[in-house]
Amino acid sequence: MEEKIKALLAEVESFSSQDTKEIETFRIRLLSRKGLIPALFDEFKQLEGDDKRKYGKPLNELKQKAQGKIEELKAGADGSGQHQANRFDLTRPAPGQFPGTRHPVNLVKNEIIDIFKRIGFNVSEGPEIEDDWHNFTALNFPEEHPARDMQDTFFVARNPEWALRTHTSSVQVRAMEANKPPIRTISPGRVFRNEAISARSHCIFHQVEGLYIDKKVSFADLKQTLLYFAREFFGADTKIRLRPSYFPFTEPSAEMDVYWGLKDEVDYRMTKGTGWLEVMGCGMVDPNVLENCGLNPEEYSGYAFGMGVERIAMQRYQISDIRYLFENDIRFLQQFQSAL
Ligand code: PHE
């Protein structure tokens, strides 16, 4: 008995491991129901008198040492050691993960781009700092003409020939200068206007403008394209209407509205009581513009349209103040579709 206790004690003292499996094997060998230590206890039960008194204490000490050692090693071991289990509540649900979301302006912009790509439009981009020619003159804004006041402009202080573009129609001028018809392109991008910031307007916003130039393009083509867009974006039963309007670069010009309905108070507010939402400006490209861009208006005609992305995003997501779209408040942004 004495020998066996000594031998096991030595084994307990010398054993060391950081491997959870090894420690467990050791525990089973010594302490499980059929292990060496319980076997010694069985032997101990057979003893009598003095022997029983002599070995009781050392046997208990051996058992405690073995248990202590195993606890200690488990605590230091990798994986799911006892130590870790005490420090962390492994049953607690993991906190939510926020992998980032797409900005509502980008969601809407990408959707608009996709819709036009499906009918053969490509995407053109251009500079945000523009010269007077591309932003105004080529687009039939006569110099000193009050039409330029329609779009209050930020000029570049160092060079008043340059301005931040007030619309992406400037990109369409570049597209016409650089390509031969047929031209079928949309120009998404950021534009800038010197306007007081309020719930409804901002000095920076995004547009998607479109341009189609070819032989014999008619107003009917424009109407059908806009109807297609409205039905893809707002739903299959969407109704549109075109109201006469004015832009220097289109003739005739129109404003396209989409029928929204007047079911509740929100509809009244959004449509100013008319039931119709203003969605975009459009028209047939003015012959002067074609000529300015090197195209013969006798040979070619075309249509153009342009819409504000923020306005449409606000309608789609019922956002009451345009400033939310620029503040990057995480509580606001997290409500939109995940970027993954
Ligand atoms: N450029 C116009 C704007 O900024 C929109 C527009 C584009 C209107 C093309 C007609 C044709 O408001």
Please give the distance, rounded to the nearest whole angstrom, from the Cα atom of residue 306 to the centre of ligand 1.
Answer: 4
Alpha-carbon separation of residue 281 from 190, 241, 245, 278, 306 (angstroms): 17, 12, 8, 9, 5
- Give the residue with greater pLDDT, 276 vs 82: 276
Average pLDDT over residues 13-32: 89
The reported pLDDT for the residue numbered 300 is 97
The 10s digit of each residue's pLDDT in 243-264 is 999 999 999 999 999 998 888 8
When computed from its CA atoms, the radius of gyration of the chain, rounded to whole angstroms, is 39
Of the pLDDT bands very low, low, confident and very high (cuts 50, 70, 90), residue 299 is very high
Does residue 149 surpass a pLDDT of 80? Answer: no
Residue 315: its pLDDT value, please? 87
- Going along the chain, which residue ranges are E strands? 122-123, 129-131, 155-156, 159-164, 183-192, 204-214, 240-247, 250-259, 276-285, 301-308
Mean pLDDT on 220-233:
96
Taking CA atoms only, the protein residue closest to ligand 1 atom 6 is 306
Which residues have C-beta atoms less than 6 Å from ligand 1?
Answer: 167, 169, 209, 247, 250, 281-283, 304-306
pLDDT computed for residue 160 by the predictor: 79
**Ligand 1 center from residue 248 Cα (angstroms):** 9
Supply the pLDDT for residue 85. 54
Atom of ligand 1 nearest to the CA of 303: 11
Q: CB neighbours (10 Å) of residue 216?
A: 8
**Tens digit of pLDDT for each residue in 170-215?**
999 999 999 999 999 999 999 999 888 988 889 999 999 999 999 9
Residue 248's region, left for phi above 0, alpha for psi from -120 to 50, else beta, is: alpha
pLDDT of 30 above 80: yes
**What is the 167 CA–ligand 1 centroid distance (Å)?**
7
**Cβ neighbours for 181, distance < 8 A, ≥ 6 positions apart:** 213, 214, 215, 295, 300, 302
Mean pLDDT of the chain: 90
Q: Which CATH superfamily is domain 104-339 in?
A: Bira Bifunctional Protein; Domain 2 (3.30.930.10)
pLDDT surpassing 60 at residue 321: yes
What is the three-class DSSP state of 206? strand
Distance from Cα 274 to the centre of ligand 1, integer Å = 23
The pLDDT of residue 336 is above 70: yes
Query: What are the residue ranges spanned by the domains of the chain?
Result: 2-87, 104-339
The Å distance, Cα 49 to ligand 1 centre, comes to 109
Give the residue-averaged pLDDT of 216-230. Answer: 97
Percent of the chain with pLDDT over 70: 95
Element holding 12 (H helix, E strand): helix 2-14
Mean pLDDT of 132-152: 81
Taking only the tens place, the pLDDT of each residue in 112-133 is: 999 999 999 999 999 999 999 9
Planar angle of CA 124, 238, 221, nearest 5 degrees:
50
Whether pLDDT at 11 is above 80 = yes
Tens digit of pLDDT for each residue in 56-88? 899 999 999 999 989 888 887 765 445 555 677
Mean pLDDT for 231-244 is: 95
User: Can you say whether residue 144 is alpha, beta or left, with left for phi > 0 and alpha for psi between -120 and 50 degrees?
Assistant: left
> Nearest residue CA, atom 5 of ligand 1?
306
Candidate of 243, 246, 249, 307 to mutate for ligand 1, largest count of ligand atoms within 8 Å of Cβ: 249
Q: What is the pLDDT of residue 216?
A: 95
Query: How much distance in Å is there from the Cα of 268 to the middle of ligand 1?
Result: 26
